[in-house]
Amino acid sequence: MGRAFEYRKATKMKRWGNMARTFTRIGKQIAIAVKAGGADIENNPHLRAVVATAKRENMPKDNVERAIKNALGKDQKDYKEMNYEGYGPFGIAVFVETATDNTTRTVANVRSIFNKFGGSLGTSGSLDFIFSWRSMFTFAKKDGLDMDELILELIDYGVEDEYDEDEDGITIYGDPKSFAQIQKYLEDNGFDVTGAEFTRIPNDEKELDAEQRATIEKMVERLEDDEDVQNVYTNMKPVAEEE
């Protein structure tokens, strides 16, 4: 299994544990996607990707359709995607993605958690050298699929030659700017896309002992408990890579 796969499994800590919060998070993403590109799933790659994620997370179809309808309403909140970057204890880089209708509230909450754990927020872009922003697609396996041939087909779209395979399917990574083109290629060629999103993968990881790891995990949990937080990334080295 690849380094990116282990990071995605062990370090990219999403709030999948609570179904209600997961659906709320996806609902915000639907609202943002609809506002940016309209409610037509076929002509809105971003929305199509969010719907694929909703399907993977077992969000009922009625909930998805209602979220799209609500996104068109005049009472829909105007969510803004904001990122916050900084360092937690032990020099661990922490990248926080949010979707909020009140940036003043969100930054105050995020800063408070950083401060509580002895960390500090930095300026926007301060962690660009640590995290690589990538598009990530997961699709079901196909009989007779030649992955080397597929990668060669997609190389012009900025797809990396490293890919991961597990019981959930195959995951490939590529240039975020080519997200829509990669997505279209997979769909047009009959792949069952079960996940389409963006991720941040650390270029430099730090190894911690068990006690230090527990502290970072607690900090991440506190961040993820905030209703505005979408994803939290760190450059803490995954346990899976140490075994």
CB neighbours of residue 193 within 10 Å: 19
pLDDT digits (tens, 9 = 90+) for 14-70: 444 477 788 888 999 999 999 889 999 888 988 988 998 888 888 999 999 999 999
* pTM, 2 dp: 0.84
pLDDT, one tens digit per residue, over 131-174 is 999 999 999 988 889 999 999 999 998 999 889 988 778 999 99
- The domain defined by 80-124+204-242 folds into Alpha-Beta Plaits (3.30.70)
Domain ranges of the chain: 14-71, 80-124+204-242, 131-202
pLDDT in tens, 64-76: 999 999 998 877 7
Q: Is the pLDDT of residue 13 over 80?
A: no
- Confidence bin at 9 (pLDDT 50/70/90): very low
What the block records as the tokens of 70 is 């609500």
Name the burial class of residue 127, with classes exposed (0-12), middle (13-18) and buried (19+) by CB atoms within 10 angstroms of its CB.
Answer: buried
Q: How many residues does the chain have?
A: 243
CATH number of 14-71: 1.10.10.200
pLDDT at 4: 53
Q: What H or E segment, with its residue span, contains residue 236?
A: none
- 80-124+204-242 and 131-202 agree in CATH topology: yes
The confidence score (pLDDT) of residue 172 equals: 95
The pLDDT value given to residue 94: 97
Contact 163, 149 (CB under 8 A): no
CA distances from 5 to 51, 114, 115, 122, 153 (A): 22, 27, 31, 27, 22
How many angstroms separate the CA atoms of 25 and 124, rounded?
23
Q: What is the CATH number of domain 131-202?
A: 3.30.70.980
